Amino acid sequence: MSDWTSTTLGRVFAVDNTKLGPHDEEPTVMSLSKYDGFVRAEEYFDKRIASSNLDGYKVVEPGEWAFSTIHIDEGSIARNNLGERGVISPMYTTMRLVATDCIPEYAELLVRQPGMLAEYSRRAQGSINRRRSLPFKAFAAIEFRMPGPTEQRRIIDVIAAVDAQIAALNEEAARGWKAWEAVVAGLDVNDGRLQLADGLRSIEAGKSPRGQERLPGPEERAVLKISAVGRAKFHSTEVKTVDASTALPESTRVRSGDVLLVRCNAVLDRVGIVCRVDEVSDNLYLCDKTLRLVADEHVLLPAYLVHAMATPSVREQIARLTAGSDMRNIGQKALREIVVPDPGTEAQGVVAAGLDELVSRTKIIEDEASHLRMFRTSLLTSLLKQEIVIPESYDTLLHGSESYNALLEKVF
């Protein structure tokens, strides 16, 4: 541990902020995602978001860096790994890695680790939440301890191995969802059809009082956020805790087995998304942007309804029946007009059982990936705090015939 030294981000990075200026050819316009790093803006947003005049945009060469002064504490800082020169909005600070004793891949781990994100937030200037900014001067003043290149390579390799396992799990989960989508799409070939007006006993809505963005305590209550309803998956932690004095009708309490639907969202593809609540505590309530679909089980099974609402024919109907421009919305009357594929209740049960099993297996894979991401966070934090020291013998894996990545695959 003797080769760890104290330094600052200002010694590692130098501000750049070179502007494009007058130009003959349109450069690639980039943006920064706190999840994906540098992205090509038009591909990422599926539309042009850049100004018509790019003269004031900042140039980012391959391998150079940028961060959002107002969202850096959320992880909006990255290296341009797209392999091409581009420009980025003037709102970003651009910079170069100048420290010869800091490996770029190590710097990527360093600037996005939880302790550093917390330090960005602590040093940000301003009083309005999510608009507080971190100028380069404050960024450059942040102190930290950095190991020598040999230890950096060990840390990079260990984390890369964990990242490879996470990526493999994500790919496996994506294959699971793709299989689900293919089977769901096949439901449309059935000749039977059922209008929801004939298949639902009722549609129930909730309320949206003010609340705090946190999980409720044992004696507290919470209302769902629209993000609680995922694609065939209920997210019980996506809630807002409300004050004890807030009136919430008992009829809006969320129950196990409920079929929930998102009735409005700024993104059209999110409108009409349906999931079924598996297990839930008794202190969660519907919000006014989620609806409970109460099926008449003599003609429409709740488990089947979740999958039927995802068929291409139903999604097309939802898109057609949705109103609004900025915030898309589908009303209860329009929902009752929707027609779903209906193979009969006996076949509905068989179809739902098979699809539920596929979704369950996919969720298990997603949960495994989520747990591994949490492990990665803890591991990286411990490595950068010198709480875990990688022994010198690890170097034989870096230079030998079998990498740590291969060993990790054997473990998993």
Interval 339-372: pLDDT, tens: 999 999 999 999 999 999 999 999 999 999 999 9
Q: Average pLDDT in the 25-53 region?
A: 87
Residue labelled with tokens 């100048």: 98
Q: Is the confidence at residue 129, as pLDDT, over 50?
A: yes
pLDDT for position 405: 55
Buried b (16+ CB within 10 A) or exposed e, 387-403: eeebeeeeeebeeeeeb
What is the pLDDT at residue 24? Answer: 87
Q: What's residue 332's pLDDT?
A: 95
Spell 270-308 as b/e; 16+ CB within 10 A means b: bbbbbbbbeebeebbbbbebbbbbebeeeebbbbbbbbb
Q: What is the mean pLDDT of residues 180-201?
A: 94
Look at residue 181 in the predicted model and tell me its pLDDT: 95
Edge-first strand order for the sheet with 259-262 is 200-205, 290-295, 259-262, 274-276
Q: CB–CB of 342/193 below 8 Å?
A: yes
Residue 400, pLDDT score: 52
- Alpha carbon 241 to its chain centroid, in Å, reads 22
Q: What topology is assigned to 5-146 in CATH?
A: Adenine-n6-DNA-methyltransferase TaqI; Chain A, domain 2 (3.90.220)
Is the pLDDT reported for residue 66 higher than 50? yes
**325: CB partners within 8 A, 6+ apart:** none
Domain limits, the chain:
5-146, 193-338
Neighbouring residues of 274: CB distance < 8 A, sequence distance ≥ 6 = 229, 232, 259, 260, 261, 262, 293, 305, 306, 309, 310
Distance CA 28, CA 106 (A): 27
Q: Cβ distance 305 to 274 under 8 Å? A: yes
Q: Is 263 a residue whose pLDDT tops 70?
A: yes
Of 44-58, 330-344, 353-367, where does mean pLDDT reach its minimum?
44-58
CATH number of 193-338: 3.90.220.20
> Does residue 51 carry a pLDDT above 90?
no
Mean pLDDT of 370-391: 95
Residues 6 or more apart whose Cβ sits within 8 Å of residue 55? 19, 20, 21, 22, 23
Contacts of residue 186, defined as CB under 8 A and 6 or more positions apart, other chains included, come to none
CA 323 to chain centroid = 27
At residue 161, does pLDDT exceed 70? Answer: yes
Mean pLDDT, all residues of the chain: 91
Tell me what the mean pLDDT of segment 378-402 comes to: 83
Calpha distance 322→320 (Å, rounded): 6
φ/ψ of residue 203, rounded to 5: -125, 125
Mean pLDDT score, 112-120:
95
pLDDT at 71 over 50: yes
- Identify the pLDDT of residue 90: 94
pLDDT at 275 over 80: yes
User: Looking at residue 128, what is its pLDDT?
Assistant: 67
Contact 109/12 with Cβ under 8 angstroms? no
Q: Are the C-beta atoms of residues 103 and 17 closer than 8 Å to each other?
A: no
Q: What is the 3-state secondary structure (H, E, C) of the chain?
A: CCCCEEEEHHHHEEECCCECCCCCCCCEEEEEECCCEEEEHHHHHCCCCCCCCCCCCEEECCCCEEEECCCHHHCCEEECCCCCCEEECCCEEEEEECCCCCCHHHHHHHHHCHHHHHHHHHHCECCCCCCCECCHHHHHCCEEEECCHHHHHHHHHHHHHHHHHHHHHHHHHHHHHHHHHHHHHHHHHCCCEEEHHHHEEEEEECCCCCCECCCCCCCCEEEECHHHEECCEECCCCEEEECCCCCCCHHHECCCCCEEEECEECCHHHCCCEEECCCCCCCEECCCCEEEEEECCCCCCHHHHHHHCCCHHHHHHHHHHCECCCCEECCHHHHHHCEEECCCHHHHHHHHHHHHHHHHHHHHHHHHHHHHHHHHHHHHHHHHCCCCCCCHHHHHHHHCCCCHHHHHHHHC
Same fold, 5-146 and 193-338: yes
Q: φ and ψ at 110, to 5 degrees?
A: -60, -50
Q: Does the pLDDT at position 411 exceed 70?
A: no
Across 107-111, 280-284, 335-339, least confident range = 280-284
Q: Which of the two residues, 12 and 132, has the higher pLDDT score?
A: 12
Mean pLDDT of 154-182: 96
Mean pLDDT of 394-411: 59
Q: What would the pLDDT profile of 228-244 be if each residue is shown by its tens digit?
A: 999 888 998 999 999 99
Residue 304 has pLDDT above 90, yes or no: yes
